[in-house]
Amino acid sequence: MNLQRAVDLPNFGSFFGTTVLEAGGFPLATPTGLRALGHPVVETELSSGVHAIQRQGSGW
């Protein structure tokens, strides 16, 4: 997977036991499956503000 594709993946996290998924970023089976396993799940807008640097060969 190239760097841009990795950065474009939906965001997620866990805050005090609640799994937070980026709204619209995951197939319905993801939150449904997590809830079936007993996880509290919240879907909301998330912005990571991520920056990435990729090393190529011997340089940046």
**Residue 60 pLDDT:** 66
pTM for this predicted structure: 0.77
Give 41: exposed, middle or buried? Use CB within 10 Å, 0-12, 13-18, 19+.
middle
Per-residue pLDDT tens over the stretch 13-47: 998 999 999 999 999 999 999 999 999 999 999 87
Tokens of 23: 């709204």
